[in-house]
């Protein structure tokens, strides 16, 4: 495993490469993004044709853009897509016209309360065109005629998403999902893509218990498309996490699944509390990222959401201030560490059966007490053995033991290994 500083810097480098690309829910920007991720992971890329029915939705037309600008009478580009992909209203239909500022204003989007920032705006399912710019830029524009051009196409094509699978010891799956539809926004969600990519690389270095499926898809319509195409096998998904806003300086926030008591919810609560890092655990709401699709009542999967500062919870959200300086290697490395710690518990959590349940078995003659000699946590390790023996009734898991005893999960798991090796418990 790479040192924290190294892996954090590598993730930040990936974000830097992805940042300039113009992404949307479809199009070549998504493909270019997946091509770069594909340099780190083998991906299975799926192309779903326009018009495909996916649950209650239909795959839309594909949008691509080459250039866009607003130019003054002297030919100066006062708004320029080449400077930032945020400058164009996402999914803008093509336009080529000259019009006065008074007419153009209806197509200009700003943030009056944040006058130096460019907003991120889209119009996916209604044919519109527009530009996004800083309010101070708009305020400085003189009246007059402006040339307006958006060189885009909106036509039948495909929705593109990708998967990467890390095979496990069992076919039951953990899904890790992140959205690939946002343009130049570093935290939302390039940091999530980077953390997912490097988490997958780490898991591939060992053989995890569960099979891990990483889903790189556009928000909402992408998750809905994945669910529609995997409806018959979705019962394999036992746990999951949606990754977003993974690189800002805020504390870690875990939003629980719709169930609230799913195993992933309990694992995240335990890991975050045991780590003593600043964190927040939030209740499920049917608004946010793609956890709301995985947790829709027909599927009701045990999928939560892991962020740092949640969506809309920071002033830079969906603005040009969500840039490369807003995300840090340290924050992304910490988010990755939370995933690593949680999945280690998830992979190791088992239920056992005590094979000597009548009275306390004699540990000394099996060498179990001697194995504690010299350990600084010998008393704690002994208590862990007693707790595991007592709760190994086939109904309690190791996480149950850790929660009830107040002992660290790792200590409980090591005790279970020792007792299993001595023939006192079985899975």
Examine the pLDDT at 374 and tell me if it is beyond 60.
no
Percent of the chain's residues with pLDDT above 90: 93
Q: What digits encode the pLDDT tens for the residues 221-270? A: 999 999 999 999 999 999 999 999 999 999 999 999 999 999 999 999 99
Tell me the pLDDT band of 4, cut-offs 50, 70 and 90. Answer: low
| Mean pLDDT computed over 269-293 | 96
Spatial CA neighbour of 200 closest among 24, 369, 39, 21: 39
Examine the pLDDT at 371 and tell me if it is beyond 80.
no
Tell me the pLDDT band of 3, cut-offs 50, 70 and 90. Answer: low
CATH number of the domain located at residue range(s) 65-155 in this protein: 3.50.30.90
Top CATH class of 4-60+158-345 equals alpha beta
Tell me the pLDDT band of 373, cut-offs 50, 70 and 90. Answer: low
Spatial CA neighbour of 249 closest among 341, 337, 338, 326: 326
Give the pLDDT of residue 379.
Answer: 83
| Mean pLDDT computed over 18-22 | 97
Lowest mean pLDDT among 58-62, 151-155, 291-295, 365-369: 365-369
pTM, full prediction: 0.95
Is 363 or 77 the better-scoring residue by pLDDT? Answer: 77
| Mean pLDDT computed over 47-67 | 98
Examine the pLDDT at 364 and tell me if it is beyond 90.
no
Give the pLDDT of residue 375.
Answer: 60
Q: What digits encode the pLDDT tens for the residues 199-216? A: 999 999 999 999 999 999
Quickly count: other Cβ atoms within 10 Å of residue 18's Cβ: 22
Tell me the pLDDT band of 2, cut-offs 50, 70 and 90. Answer: low
Angle 217-282-186 from CA coordinates, rounded to 5° = 40
Distances (CA, A) of 302 to 212, 216, 242, 395: 14, 19, 11, 20
Q: Domain-by-domain residue ranges, the chain? A: 4-60+158-345, 65-155, 351-426
Examine the pLDDT at 156 and tell me if it is beyond 60.
yes
Examine the pLDDT at 356 and tell me if it is beyond 60.
yes
Give the pLDDT of residue 368.
Answer: 82
Spell 309-324 as b/e; 16+ CB within 10 A means b. Answer: bbbeebebbbbbbbee
Give the pLDDT of residue 150.
Answer: 98
Alpha carbons within 13 angstroms on the beta-carbon side of residue 277 total: 21
Spatial CA neighbour of 410 closest among 421, 420, 399, 419: 399
Which DSSP category does 191 fall into? I
Tell me the pLDDT band of 378, cut-offs 50, 70 and 90. Answer: confident
Tell me the pLDDT band of 183, cut-offs 50, 70 and 90. Answer: very high
Structure tokens at 396: 């309690």
Angle 210-241-292 from CA coordinates, rounded to 5° = 130
* Length of the chain measured in residues: 427
Structure tokens at 52: 């495909």
Q: What digits encode the pLDDT tens for the residues 384-417? A: 999 999 999 999 999 999 999 999 999 999 999 9
Top CATH class of 351-426 equals mainly alpha
Examine the pLDDT at 376 and tell me if it is beyond 70.
no
Strands 158-166 and 77-80: unpaired
| Mean pLDDT computed over 63-68 | 98
- Report the mean per-residue pLDDT for the chain: 95
| Residues facing residue 164 across a β-bridge | 214
Alpha carbons within 13 angstroms on the beta-carbon side of residue 219 total: 20
Examine the pLDDT at 14 and tell me if it is beyond 90.
yes
| Mean pLDDT computed over 156-184 | 98
| Residues facing residue 353 across a β-bridge | 393, 426
Q: What digits encode the pLDDT tens for the residues 284-331? A: 999 999 999 999 999 999 999 999 999 999 999 999 999 999 999 999
């Amino acid at each position: 495993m790479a040192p924290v500083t190294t892996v954090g810097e590598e993730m930040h480098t990936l974000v830097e490469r992805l940042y300039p690309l113009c992404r949307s829910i479809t199009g070549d920007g998504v493909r270019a993004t997946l091509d770069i991720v594909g340099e780190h992971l083998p991906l299975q890329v799926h192309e779903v044709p326009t018009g495909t029915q996916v649950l209650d939705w239909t795959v839309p037309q594909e949008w691509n853009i080459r250039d866009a600008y607003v130019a003054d009478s002297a030919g100066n580009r006062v708004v320029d897509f080449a400077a930032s992909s945020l400058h164009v209203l996402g999914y803008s239909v093509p336009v080529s016209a000259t019009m006065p500022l008074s007419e153009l204003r209806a197509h200009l989007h700003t943030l009056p309360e944040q006058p130096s920032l460019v907003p991120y705006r889209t119009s996916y399912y209604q044919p519109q065109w527009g530009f996004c710019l800083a309010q101070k830029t708009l305020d400085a524009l003189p009246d007059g005629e402006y040339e307006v051009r958006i060189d885009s196409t909106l036509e039948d094509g495909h929705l593109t998403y990708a998967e990467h699978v890390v095979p496990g010891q069992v076919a039951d799956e953990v899904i890790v999902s992140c959205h690939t539809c946002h343009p130049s926004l570093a935290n939302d969600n390039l940091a999530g893509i980077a953390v997912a990519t490097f988490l997958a690389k780490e898991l591939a270095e060992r053989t995890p218990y569960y099979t891990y499926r990483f889903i790189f898809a556009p928000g909402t319509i992408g998750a809905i498309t994945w669910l529609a195409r995997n409806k018959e096998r979705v019962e394999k998904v036992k746990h999951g996490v949606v990754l977003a806003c993974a690189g800002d300086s805020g504390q870690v926030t875990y939003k629980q699944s719709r169930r609230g008591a799913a195993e992933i919810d309990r694992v995240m609560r335990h890991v975050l509390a045991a780590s003593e890092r600043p964190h927040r655990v939030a209740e499920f709401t049917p608004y946010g990222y793609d956890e709301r699709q995985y947790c829709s009542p027909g599927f009701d999967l045990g999928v939560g959401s892991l962020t740092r500062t949640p969506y809309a919870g920071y002033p830079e959200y969906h603005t040009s201030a969500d840039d490369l300086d807003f995300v840090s290697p340290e924050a992304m490395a910490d988010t990755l560490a939370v995933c690593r710690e949680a999945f280690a518990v998830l992979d190791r959590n088992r239920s056992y059966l005590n094979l000597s349940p009548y009275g306390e078995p004699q540990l000394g003659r099996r060498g179990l007490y001697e194995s504690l000699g010299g350990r600084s946590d010998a008393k704690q390790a002994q208590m862990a053995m007693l707790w595991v023996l007592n709760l190994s009734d086939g109904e309690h898991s190791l996480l149950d033991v850790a929660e009830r005893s107040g002992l660290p999960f790792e200590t409980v798991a090591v005790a279970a290994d020792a007792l299993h090796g001595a023939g006192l418990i079985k899975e």
